[in-house]
Amino acid sequence: MASSGNKNINAKLVLLGDVGAGKSSLVLRFVKGQFIEFQESTIGAAFFSQTVAVNDATVKFEIWDTAGQERYHSLAPMYYRGAAAAIIVYDITNQASFDRAKKWVQELQAQGNPNMVMALAGNKSDLLDSRKVATEEAQTYANENGLFFMETSAKTATNVNDIFYEIAKRLPRLQQAPNPSGMVLVDRPAERAAAASCCS
């Protein structure tokens, strides 16, 4: 649950999505600014933390990157319980992963924290030639379900920081903030600045 204290907020965030959609890659890009072609497969879930600044507040994300294989889904409630935010990830080159993403959205709508900020990430946006899920289709679905949507690429870093930053801005605790602009706090500013802009 997002908790405030001197404008420092801790927010639990969970990543859900089909196997191989790129959940771990998105996190690795966001937290360490790296991309690795073959990431160790995640078992249960892996934990990371990263801080972003929004206006005069800082949001420390406690990120749970979950395993994608179907049978691991029975563990998911442990990770999304009390989460302030979720990123549901699918692979734009794989229609089945988009269908799976919709199921996650349904589950969170039914079981998750009602104030949860939900983002839909169409990952691997660099693989345009193999695209199977149209941007408009995902955007429409997102609009209908109250999610915000971005296409991301962990490989090229496109929209990766942006999606986390957008989430931070939308956290209920920050909603009253007067000036909706800010920056990502980083140790390697050059890399972060290379992140492309939002496409939603």
Point out which residues bind other proteins (CB under 8 A).
10, 12, 19-20, 28, 31-32, 36, 38-50, 60, 62-64, 67, 69, 71-75, 77-79, 81-82, 103, 106-107, 109-111, 187-188
Distance CA 11, CA 28 (A): 18
Minimum CB–partner distance for residue 109 and other proteins (Å):
8
Q: Are 75 and 26 in contact (CB under 8 A)?
A: no
Given the complex with other proteins, which of 183 and 198 has the nearer CB atom?
183
DSSP-based helix, strand, coil % in the chain, nearest 5: 35, 25, 40
Minimum CB–partner distance for residue 53 and other proteins (Å):
14
Given the complex with other proteins, which of 99 and 180 has the nearer CB atom?
99
Given the complex with other proteins, which of 103 and 180 has the nearer CB atom?
103
Minimum CB–partner distance for residue 122 and other proteins (Å):
20
Given the complex with other proteins, which of 7 and 20 has the nearer CB atom?
20
Minimum CB–partner distance for residue 33 and other proteins (Å):
9
The token pair at 105 is: 């959205």
| Pick from 28, 18, 80: nearest CA to 50 | 28
| Pick from 117, 107, 127: nearest CA to 85 | 117
In Å, how far are 61, 95, 118 from 91, measured between CA atoms? 23, 8, 17
